């Protein structure tokens, strides 16, 4: 059973392999007991309060709380903070009641004096080994209550010395995979950019000496695409406190009488078999519970995107030329990127003017779309709906539609301003232009970009008391637009892009069909970006292009290496096909064909990171599904005198025999051999790579 409540005070949340337990103590405070491998017997848990006051350390500060609130002599980080109209700033709650039904638990906390109620919500995804948490604050009175911090979840782990891995990075170098030990004190990372951002990922991964296949790992990912904060505090009381939620830096939500405020959701889990199992849990959960249902089962098409070939120099003829070659290469979707609209000849102008540029497309998009369709491909297009250039008709007509401080010059990022999505008129404008674009043209894919971060949080049509909620309201506006468009155009595929991986998060995962993972398309960098990305997010959502980015005057990377790297996710092509030549095009078409054959295993299979180029000579990643597997292996620089590498596979059947298709030969090997002895591979040159298909006989 997913949820067990004992004596109205012990709450035990069991999934297939894990347990999460907390209890209400005699002070009415919820205290955590356990998070880890399954201990399903409620009788095993001791609900006596073992925490006592100790001179300088109040008991409440020492408790491993499920939901701490600022004040009451708590000195640790607290996961909520409210301010009442009389200036009181501590929320003194008692657990009032709970409701447990099926896989759902709601626990109601009530302030002892003020009309504030907070409900802690839990959804147990028993078969998927995920516990979902979120919170709701309700003002039952008339005076406004300010929610200054309202995180989604708090987790504690006993002891110390935990290691933490994060997926933070920077633009064009996302997902660095930093690792460190959590010592006394706090580690905090957050985004204050209005989007989740390249620099920080809204998730935590904490472990004790875990690797890919061994060790205990605790993890959580936030379903939110705006400012967030993750805090890991090694308290003085021999436990680690982990908190995750929307950022409280410059945040206040004014909860008016009768209103409620709901936090984003956090998905948390535990693996006793290292990081590999953690990723499998999250990928499976994403596919079964988070992705839009239309997207979860639909394979993603191989796309061609013209951005790196043409940048802003888009013309109808030029795109048609590329389309012919893209079709020859086997692309299924042709995407025109930035530069097709308004007066958009560079990034200095045109954003906001979503009409087809008449010089570039004198007869509109139709001739190009007809050409693309005639070549057997679908058509897609790029937009950046939340932005406007100063040099645009939109800005000239509506200078009050952007975020700005009236007394300051407006801040530019990539020469653009951010539209005020807290304004319903702006939302209507955006929904209408995209709806028109999709209704008037045969477009089946949209790449939604966002190329600057938020700056000034002031909006002309809002009261100044609401300014600190703009960070949050912007994301609500963004979500409302994409949700409305999906409702009106359910068959259209949407890609979330923010100058690369600035919007890779579980909030976008439930509203988009894929992510643009990074603007860095050099496969040598991509391999490590992709590796860390896969810790949290499914490979299917990882758009990856074959491009020329790795080549320079003194380095040429073979097409095979570039193609195999991009084939590890949802394949795209982004290179200038005019420079490829007939032989190159034929070789490219071969990889695309191979990808299409293996696509069900790569996009819908289980991923295993076998070897990391950060630690070994090789990167090796395997995907398996229904008795088949695909293995990609990459050697960047061959150490002198080394020609052979052995790669051990995972998740095969020991006793089954597999046909192993590699280098034009088919070998037969048992699962036991492949997993224990390993596959011996000949890798003789720098930038060698292999794509190997295994099929159970
Ligand atoms: C940033 C994106 O990440 C690129 O792929 C491209 O779409 C440009 N923006 C276009 O301006």
CA of 339 to the centre of ligand 1 (A): 10
Ligand 1 pocket check for 384: Cβ under 6 Å = no
Question: Cα(565)–Cα(31) distance, rounded to whole angstroms?
Answer: 47
Paired tokens of 249: 């830096």
Residue ending a domain, choose from 589, 605, 621: 605
Question: Do 188 and 328 share a structural domain?
Answer: no
Distance of CA 206 to CAs 163, 290, 354, 403, 540, Å? 6, 23, 45, 38, 25
From the CA of 588, how far away is ligand 1's center (Å)?
Answer: 23
Q: What pLDDT sits at residue 554?
A: 86
Q: Which of 312, 345, 451 to mutate to test the pocket of ligand 1 (most atoms within 8 A of CB)?
A: 451
β partners of residue 515: 496, 542
pLDDT of residue 48: 82
Give yes or no: residues 130 and 271 share one domain: yes
Q: Which entry of 61, 103, 353, 519 is annotated as an active-site residue? A: 519
CATH number at residue 324: 3.20.20.70
Mutate to test the pocket of ligand 1, among 448, 502, 516, 574 (most ligand atoms within 8 A of CB): 516
Whether residue 279 is found in the same domain as residue 335: no
Range of the domain at 95: 3-290
Residues in the chain, pLDDT under 50 = none
Q: Would you say 680 and 642 are in contact if contact means Cβ atoms under 8 Å apart?
A: no
Nearest-CA neighbor of 632 among 555, 537, 523?
523
Residue that is last in its domain, among 541, 576, 605: 605
Are residues 628 and 519 both part of a single domain?
no
Q: How far is the CA of 518 from the centre of ligand 1 (A)?
A: 10
| CA pair distance 443, 422, nearest whole angstrom | 28
Question: According to DSSP H, which parts of 441-558 are helical?
Answer: 470-488, 506-509, 523-536
Return the CATH number at 116: 2.70.98.60
Let me know the angle formed at the C-alpha of 159 by 122 and 536, rounded to the nearest 5 degrees.
Answer: 50
Judgement on whether residues 455 and 595 belong to the same structural domain of the protein: yes
pLDDT at 522: 96
Same domain membership, residue 151 and residue 68: yes
Ligand 1: does its nearest atom lie under 6 Å from the Cβ of 174?
A: no
308: left (phi over 0), alpha (psi -120 to 50) or beta: alpha
264 alpha carbon – ligand 1 mean position (Å): 28
For 67-101, the pLDDT digits (tens) are 999 999 999 999 999 999 999 999 999 999 999 99
Please tell me whether residue 312 adopts helix, strand or coil conformation: coil
Q: 510 and 551 share a domain?
A: yes
- Number of domains the chain contains: 3
Report pLDDT for 479: 98
Is residue 296 one of the residues assigned to a domain?
Answer: no
Q: Residues at the annotated binding site? A: 171, 337-338, 414, 447-451, 497, 519
Residue 295 falls inside a structural domain:
no
Which pLDDT value is given to residue 664?
A: 85
Nearest atom (ligand 1) to Cα of 347: 11
Among the listed residues 192, 212, 209, the one whose alpha carbon sits nearest the alpha carbon of residue 200:
192
Q: What is the pTM (predicted TM-score) of this model?
A: 0.98
Closest by CA to 128, choosing from 336, 360, 289, 8, is 289
User: What is the C-alpha to C-alpha distance for residues 153 and 134, in angstroms, rounded to an integer?
Assistant: 7
Residue 440 shares a structural domain with residue 567: yes
Residues 222 and 314 in one domain: no
Taking the C-alpha atoms of residue 639 and residue 75, their distance in angstroms, rounded to an integer, is 53
Among residues 585, 605, 625, the one where a domain terminates is: 605
Distances (CA, A) of 80 to 35, 122, 241: 21, 17, 14
Cα 380 from Cα 249, distance rounded (Å): 38
Q: Which atom of ligand 1 lies closest to the CA of 499? A: 3
- Is 594 a member of any domain? yes
In a domain, residue 226? The reply is yes
Q: Tell me the three-class secondary structure of 581-642, residue by residue.
A: HHHHHHHHHHHHHHHHHHHHHHHHCEEEEEECCCCCCEEEEEEEECCEEEEEEEECCCCCCC
Residue 580 and residue 631 in one domain: no
Asked whether residue 298 is assigned to any structural domain, the reply reads no
- Residue 499 belongs to some domain of the structure: yes
pLDDT score at 581: 93
> From ligand 1's centre to the CA of 20, what distance in Å?
42
Same domain? 561 vs 638? no
Q: Is 548 a catalytic residue?
A: no
Residue having the nearest C-alpha atom to atom 9 of ligand 1: 499
Helix axes 559-566, 581-604, angle to 10 degrees: 30
519 belongs to the catalytic site: yes
139 plus 244 within the same structural domain = yes
Establish if 658 belongs to a structural domain. Answer: yes
- Which of 310, 339, 413, 449 has the most ligand 1 atoms within 8 A of CB, as the residue to mutate? 449
- Given the residues 25, 111, 449, 548, the one annotated as active site: 449
Q: Give the pLDDT confidence score for residue 295 in this predicted structure.
A: 82
CA distance 57 to 76: 11
Residue 272: inside a domain: yes
> Which CATH number do you get for residue 639?
2.60.40.1180
């Amino acid at each position: 059973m997913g949820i067990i409540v004992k004596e109205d005070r012990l709450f035990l949340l069991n999934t297939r392999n894990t347990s999460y337990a907390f209890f209400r103590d005699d002070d009415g405070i919820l205290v955590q007991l356990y998070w880890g491998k399954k201990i399903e017997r409620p009788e095993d848990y001791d609900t006596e309060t073992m925490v006592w006051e100790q001179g300088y350390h109040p008991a409440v500060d020492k408790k491993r709380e499920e939901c701490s609130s600022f004040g009451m002599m708590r000195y640790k980080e607290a996961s909520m903070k409210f301010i009442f109209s009389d200036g009181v700033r501590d929320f003194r709650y008692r657990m009032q009641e709970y409701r447990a039904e099926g896989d759902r638990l709601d626990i109601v906390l009530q302030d002892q004096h003020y009309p504030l109620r907070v409900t802690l919500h839990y959804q147990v995804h028993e078969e998927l080994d995920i516990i979902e948490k979120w919170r709701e604050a309700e003002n039952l009175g008339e005076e406004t209550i300010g929610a200054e911090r309202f995180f989604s979840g708090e987790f504690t782990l006993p002891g110390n010395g935990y290691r933490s891995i994060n997926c933070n990075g920077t633009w064009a170098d996302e997902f660095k995979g930093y690792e460190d030990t959590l010592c006394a004190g706090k580690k905090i990372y957050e985004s204050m950019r209005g989007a989740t951002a390249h620099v920080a990922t809204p998730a935590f991964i904490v472990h004790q000496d875990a690797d890919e296949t061994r060790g205990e790992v605790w993890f959580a990912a936030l379903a939110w695409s705006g400012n967030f904060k993750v805090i890991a505090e090694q308290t003085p009381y021999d436990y680690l406190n982990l908190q995750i939620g929307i950022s409280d830096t410059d945040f206040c939500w004014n909860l008016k009488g009768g209103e409620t405020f709901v936090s984003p959701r956090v998905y948390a889990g535990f693996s006793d078999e290292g990081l590999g199992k953690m990723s499998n849990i999250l990928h499976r959960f994403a596919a079964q519970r988070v992705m839009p249902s239309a997207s979860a089962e639909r394979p993603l098409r191989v796309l061609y995107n013209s951005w790196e070939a043409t940048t802003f120099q888009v013309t109808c003829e030029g795109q048609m030329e590329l389309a012919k070659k893209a079709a020859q290469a086997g692309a299924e979707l042709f995407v025109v990127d930035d530069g097709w609209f308004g007066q958009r000849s560079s990034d200095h102008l045109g954003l906001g003017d979503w009409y087809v540029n008449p010089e570039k497309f004198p007869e509109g998009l139709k001739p190009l779309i007809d050409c693309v369709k005639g070549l057997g491909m679908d058509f897609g297009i790029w937009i950046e709906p939340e932005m406007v250039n100063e040099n645009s008709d939109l800005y000239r007509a509506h200078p009050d539609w952007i975020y700005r401080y009236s007394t300051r010059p407006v801040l530019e990022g990539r020469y653009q301003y951010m539209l005020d999505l807290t304004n319903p008129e702006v939302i209507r404008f955006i929904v209408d232009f995209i709806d028109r674009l999709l209704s008037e043209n045969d477009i089946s894919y949209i790449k939604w970009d966002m190329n600057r971060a938020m700056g000034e949080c002031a909006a002309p049509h809002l009261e100044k008391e609401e300014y600190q909620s703009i960070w949050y309201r912007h994301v609500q506006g963004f979500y409302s637009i994409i949700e409305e468009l999906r409702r009106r155009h359910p068959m259209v595929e949407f890609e979330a892009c923010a100058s690369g991986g600035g919007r890779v998060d579980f909030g976008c995962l439930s509203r988009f069909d894929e992510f643009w993972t990074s603007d860095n398309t050099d496969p040598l960098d991509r391999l490590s970006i992709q590796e860390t990305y896969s810790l949290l997010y499914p490979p299917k959502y990882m758009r990856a292009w074959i491009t020329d980015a790795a080549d320079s005057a003194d380095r040429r990377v073979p097409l095979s290496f570039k193609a195999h790297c991009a084939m590890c996710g949802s394949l795209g092509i982004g290179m200038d096909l005019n420079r490829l030549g007939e032989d190159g095009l034929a070789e490219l078409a071969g990889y695309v064909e191979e990808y299409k054959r293996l696509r069900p295993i790569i996009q819908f299979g289980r991923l295993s990171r076998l070897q990391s180029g950060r630690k070994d000579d090789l990167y090796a990643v395997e995907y398996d599904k229904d008795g088949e597997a695909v293995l990609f292996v990459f050697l960047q620089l061959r150490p002198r005198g080394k020609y052979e590498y052995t790669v051990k596979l995972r998740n095969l059947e020991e006793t089954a025999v597999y046909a192993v298709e590699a280098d034009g030969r088919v070998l037969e090997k048992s699962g036991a051999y492949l997993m224990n002895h390993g596959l011996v591979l000949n890798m003789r040159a720098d930038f060698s790579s292999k794509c190997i298909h295994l099929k159970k006989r």
